[in-house]
């Protein structure tokens, strides 16, 4: 089931799934998910949450890099992709659906990953004047 669209069954992608990971898409909202055996459903790579977490995948204290990463992203201005990133990260923070650190197996704890995402979006909004 989609983590955002209640009652909507996800459609598996047969093209790139394997015995180690299954990729699924919501036919309603078109969000992509990943499912590993024995793990919970998470966003798939290239979702705004996973992109932001990728930059700090090996950091134990990712919040320390939130401002500098937001500065890098803000350099291009408030384009559609950046605004979508902000919306999706804030949606996950406001209405949690998953353990975000499991999407990429980040080194930091779930709490620290979420703290980083909050700080990253806050710095990004500030730098973009939003």
Give the pLDDT band of residue 17 (cuts 50, 70, 90).
low
Please indicate, yes or no, whether residues 18 and 50 belong to a single structural domain of this protein. Answer: no
Please indicate, yes or no, whether residues 29 and 82 belong to a single structural domain of this protein. Answer: no
Please indicate, yes or no, whether residues 73 and 39 belong to a single structural domain of this protein. Answer: no
Give the pLDDT band of residue 18 (cuts 50, 70, 90).
confident
Provide the number of structural domains found in the chain: 2
Please indicate, yes or no, whether residues 26 and 53 belong to a single structural domain of this protein. Answer: no
What is the tens place of the pLDDT at every residue in 20-65?
899 999 999 999 999 999 999 999 999 999 999 999 999 999 999 9
CA atoms within 13 A on the CB side of 124: 27
Mean pLDDT for the chain? 94
Please indicate, yes or no, whether residues 37 and 78 belong to a single structural domain of this protein. Answer: no
Structure tokens at 92: 């996950």
Please indicate, yes or no, whether residues 94 and 118 belong to a single structural domain of this protein. Answer: yes
| Average pLDDT value for residue range 6-17 | 85
- What's the domain range around 76? 46-128
12, containing H or E segment = strand 11-12
Q: Residue 42 forms beta bridges with which residues?
A: 34
């Amino acid at each position: 089931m989609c983590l955002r669209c209640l009652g909507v069954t996800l459609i598996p992608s047969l093209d790139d799934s394997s015995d180690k990971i299954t990729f699924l898409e919501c036919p309603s909202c078109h969000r992509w998910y990943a499912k590993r055996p024995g793990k919970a459903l998470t966003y798939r790579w290239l979702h705004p949450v996973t992109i932001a977490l990728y930059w700090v995948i090996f950091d134990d204290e990712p919040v320390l890099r939130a401002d500098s990463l937001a500065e890098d992203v803000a350099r291009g201005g408030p384009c559609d992709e950046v605004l979508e990133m902000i919306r999706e990260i804030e949606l996950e923070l406001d209405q949690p659906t998953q353990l975000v650190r499991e999407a990429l197996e980040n080194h930091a704890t779930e709490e620290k990953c979420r703290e980083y995402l909050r700080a990253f979006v806050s710095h990004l909004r500030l730098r973009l004047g939003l």
